[in-house]
């Protein structure tokens, strides 16, 4: 199964089309005015979006502090190391960095692990988009919690799906020992990171590592499995067991430097390939390595595009507070796509799903957007449109706002309607699962029930999966459960249990709860959506500029 997935990506032709501005200009313009009759819904959504935005900013500030002030002082003053964000500044061309899943790791059963103790995202090095995975040693010495492993594996998956060279900045005490049972033994646990490095190398996705701190135990394999590795003198160390363990086992006193320092590994063991006297030198060296990767740097973002005709700041008022506050999805589209222009496909058929072509900052996309329940006709139309985009190599953008509310069939004929809807949704799911074009999913409202799968939910492997802060994710939509059934339950003996369940359901459905568990690639603000989508499309587009041909053997360290 894994092999099948790998080869599907491998066989994908270069994706993503830049739309000539002339072609885009010919598309019809969407009407995006908010009518007075919708003003109260708009205001209710705005108030909710403001609250969600505040929470988003609060959490963003919190994770920026990593392990806290004392840990930062220990890291910078005692250990004389740069912070993960300072390292990124030296490594990347500029601040054009798509940070992924920054809010992961908050409020987990084992406590807060800000950003899962590892900063990750996609930025340009020497003009090439690269995936960067950087341990944050201010969070418990950069040790790997279960959520850290999950984040690293997801980042590798994104790098694999989008064929991004991957640079690891390793500064980690290895496994967080109290939780070893949750991060060592299973398939999708720590060892998978090393397996992926080999597989990606074999698929000609370059693997580069900088040892800029401790690489203990499991951490030691990341630089050793990489194709090319740099180590920083007096800061970088690699060993399977540190000095205290050596002392305990053999009684010998040995320093970290003697046991696995930069000189030892660059001169004696050959575990690394480049010695850097300072961190600055190490990141310059990493940039030079990336410049040898044989890519033609893709052009900078397309300057030739029109802004939407409607204000993107109004998106907060269109982000549904709950399903009943949903306005026409075309109001959102008119604030996301170039010139508010949209070439609709099957405009009068299955109207609860909107499909069509548009450009985002000059990049052509096929849009599939929820505009109500995914009926039989809507699902058939979705399936047809996905196949067209796949045929033409056009990336797909899903805007999801689904609910779990299923009307109970009052008659046999109604049951038949529902069965037909189910069959059409299954066909849409199959079209999406088998489409090899890149997919981006953005949850603008609800992500509930079976329809969420047909709108390219997480399990359908979109290349990127983002949430707006107002998004709600859960099997059942707590605000939309069929009222008759709820009232019945509420009045029953289990009334109290029911209230608790509903409270938990609401809490567990929040975008922040989801993002903390890495069920998505991050929460993004509505007003930033165009820029984020544009970056994703540029990243996807990079494949066109790769010169290397495929082969199937990793680079082995000799
Ligand atoms: N598991 C759990 N906690 C760990 C840990 C591990 N493997 N390694 C470090 N920590 C914790 C420390 O207890 C400390 O916690 P505290 O802040 O609550 O006191 C915190 O991480 C920072 O460690 P500290 O030793 O104070 O920082 P440092 O910068 O001086 O050293 C390391 C960091 C990673 C080099 C050092 O802690 C170390 O060598 N750890 C052991 C690594 C190891 O043997 N790993 C084996 C994994 S299989």
Separation of alpha carbons 6 and 47, rounded Å: 44
Token readout for 295 is 């890519």
3-state secondary structure of 501: helix
Separation of alpha carbons 271 and 264, rounded Å: 9
CB 104 within 8 A of CB 516: yes
Quick one: the chain helix, strand, coil %, rounded to 5? 45, 15, 35
Q: What is the DSSP string of 57-75?
A: HHHHHHHHTTT-HHHHHII
Question: Can you list the domains of the chain with their CATH numbers?
Answer: 16-48+309-545 (3.90.226.10), 69-291 (3.90.226.10)
Residue nearest to ligand 1 atom 25, measured at CA: 141
Q: Is 169 left (phi over 0), alpha (psi -120 to 50) or beta?
A: beta
Residues 37, 29, 436: CA angle, nearest 5 degrees: 110
Please state the atom number of ligand 1 nearest to the C-alpha of residue 177.
1
3-state secondary structure of 97: coil
CB 157 within 8 A of CB 540: no
Ligand 1 center from residue 239 Cα (angstroms):
14
Separation of alpha carbons 223 and 213, rounded Å: 12
Please state the atom number of ligand 1 nearest to the C-alpha of residue 180.
48
Separation of alpha carbons 223 and 230, rounded Å: 8
Please state the atom number of ligand 1 nearest to the C-alpha of residue 242.
44
Residue nearest to ligand 1 atom 15, measured at CA: 140
pLDDT score recorded for residue 7: 44
Separation of alpha carbons 411 and 196, rounded Å: 52
Query: Residue 39, Cβ neighbours under 10 Å: how many?
Result: 11
CB 12 within 8 A of CB 436: yes
Token readout for 557 is 């360290």
Separation of alpha carbons 104 and 114, rounded Å: 7
Ligand 1 center from residue 176 Cα (angstroms):
8
Ligand 1 center from residue 216 Cα (angstroms):
10
- The upper half-sphere exposure of residue 270, i.e. CA atoms within 13 Å in the direction of its Cβ, equals 3
Find tokens 């590994």 and name the residue.
Answer: 265
Ligand 1 center from residue 113 Cα (angstroms):
14
Please state the atom number of ligand 1 nearest to the C-alpha of residue 70.
17
Residue nearest to ligand 1 atom 31, measured at CA: 141
Please state the atom number of ligand 1 nearest to the C-alpha of residue 173.
34
Token readout for 343 is 């070439």
* CA gyration radius, the chain: 25
Q: Which residues of the chain have pLDDT under 70?
A: 1-22, 301-303, 405-408, 481-495, 547-552, 558
Q: Residues lining ligand 1, CB < 6 A? A: 74, 79, 140-141, 143, 173-177, 214, 216-217, 242
Nearest to 376 by CA among 451, 443, 325: 451
Token readout for 389 is 């985009």
Q: Which residues pair with 384 in a beta bridge?
A: none
How far is the CA of 322 from the CAs of 224, 319, 336, 512, in angstroms? 49, 9, 21, 16
Please state the atom number of ligand 1 nearest to the C-alpha of residue 142.
34
Residue nearest to ligand 1 atom 36, measured at CA: 173
Q: Which residues pair with 396 in a beta bridge?
A: 366, 439
Separation of alpha carbons 43 and 46, rounded Å: 5
Give the DSSP H or E segment for 412.
Answer: helix 412-434
Q: What is the DSSP string of 249-276?
A: HH-----HHHHH-HHIIIIII-S-SEEE
pLDDT tens digit string along 503-528?
A: 888 999 999 999 999 999 999 999 99
Token readout for 468 is 């707006």
Ligand 1 center from residue 204 Cα (angstroms):
35
Separation of alpha carbons 336 and 537, rounded Å: 14
Strands 207-216 and 353-360: unpaired
Separation of alpha carbons 554 and 228, rounded Å: 12
Separation of alpha carbons 145 and 108, rounded Å: 11
Ligand 1 center from residue 280 Cα (angstroms):
25
In the structure, how many helices (H) and strands (E) does the chain have?
A: 21, 17
Ligand 1 center from residue 62 Cα (angstroms):
22
Please state the atom number of ligand 1 nearest to the C-alpha of residue 71.
17
Query: Residue 72, Cβ neighbours under 10 Å: how many?
Result: 15
Q: What are phi and psi of 520, to 5 degrees?
A: -150, 180
Nearest to 455 by CA among 532, 373, 349: 373
pLDDT score recorded for residue 19: 53
Burial class of residue 224 in the structure, from the number of CB atoms within 10 Å of its CB (0-12 exposed, 13-18 middle, 19+ buried)? buried
Separation of alpha carbons 31 and 196, rounded Å: 47
With the most atoms of ligand 1 within 8 angstroms of its CB, the residue from 117, 143, 170 to mutate is 143
């Amino acid at each position: 199964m894994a092999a099948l997935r790998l080869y599907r990506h491998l066989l994908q032709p270069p994706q993503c089309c830049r739309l000539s501005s002339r072609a885009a200009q010919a598309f019809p313009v969407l009407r995006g005015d908010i009518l007075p009759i919708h003003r109260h819904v708009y205001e209710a959504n705005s108030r909710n979006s403001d609250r969600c935005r505040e929470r988003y900013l609060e959490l963003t500030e919190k994770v920026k502090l990593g392990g806290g002030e004392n840990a930062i002082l220990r890291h910078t003053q005692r250990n004389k190391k740069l912070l993960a964000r300072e390292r990124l500044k030296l490594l990347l061309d500029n601040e054009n960095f798509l940070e992924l899943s920054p809010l992961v790791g908050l409020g987990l059963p084992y406590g807060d692990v800000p950003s899962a103790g590892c900063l990750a995202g996609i930025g340009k090095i020497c003009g090439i988009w690269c995936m960067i995975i950087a341990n944050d040693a201010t969070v418990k010495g950069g040790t790997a919690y279960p959520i850290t492993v999950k984040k690293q594996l997801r980042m590798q998956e994104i790098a694999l799906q989008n064929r991004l060279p991957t640079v690891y900045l390793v500064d980690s005490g290895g496994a967080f020992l109290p939780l070893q049972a949750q991060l060592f033994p299973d398939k999708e646990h720590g060892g998978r990171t090393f397996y992926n490095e080999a597989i990606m190398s074999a698929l000609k996705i370059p693997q580069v590592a900088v040892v800029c701190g401790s690489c203990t135990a499991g951490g030691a394999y990341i630089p050793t499995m990489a194709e090319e590795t740099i180590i920083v003198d007096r800061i970088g160390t690699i060993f399977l067991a540190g000095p205290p363990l050596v002392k305990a086992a053999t009684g010998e006193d040995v320093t970290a430097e003697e046991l696995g320092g930069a000189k030892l590994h660059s001169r004696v063991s050959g575990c690394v390939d480049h010695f850097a006297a300072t961190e600055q030198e190490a990141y310059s060296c990493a940039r030079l390595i990336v410049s040898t990767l044989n890519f033609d740097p893709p052009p900078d973002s397309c300057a030739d595009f029109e802004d939407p005709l409607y204000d993107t700041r109004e998106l907060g008022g269109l982000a549904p507070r709950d399903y009943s506050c949903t306005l026409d999805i075309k109001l959102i589209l008119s604030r996301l796509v170039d010139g508010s222009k949209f070439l609709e496909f099957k405009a009068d058929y299955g109207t609860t799903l909107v499909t069509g072509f548009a450009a985002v900052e000059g990049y052509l996309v096929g849009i599939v957007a929820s505009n109500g329940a995914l009926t039989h006709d809507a699902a058939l139309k979705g399936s047809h449109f996905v196949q067209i985009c796949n045929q033409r190599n056009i990336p797909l953008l899903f805007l999801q706002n689904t609910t779990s509310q299923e009307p109970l069939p009052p008659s046999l004929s109604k049951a038949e309607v529902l069965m037909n809807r189910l069959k059409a949704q299954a066909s849409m799911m199959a079209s999406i699962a088998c489409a090899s074009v890149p997919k981006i999913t953005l949850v603008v409202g609800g992500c509930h029930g079976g329809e969420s799968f047909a709108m390219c939910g997480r399990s359908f492997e979109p290349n990127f999966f983002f949430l707006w802060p107002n998004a709600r994710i859960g099997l059942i939509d707590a605000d939309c459960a069929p009222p008759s059934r709820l009232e019945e339950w509420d009045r029953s003996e289990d009334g109290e249990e029911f209230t608790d369940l509903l409270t938990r359901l609401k809490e567990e459905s929040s975008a922040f709860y989801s993002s903390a568990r890495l069920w998505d690639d991050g929460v993004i603000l509505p007003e930033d959506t165009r820029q984020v989508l544009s970056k994703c499309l540029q990243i996807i587009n990079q494949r066109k500029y790769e010169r290397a041909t495929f082969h199937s053997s990793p680079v082995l360290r000799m």
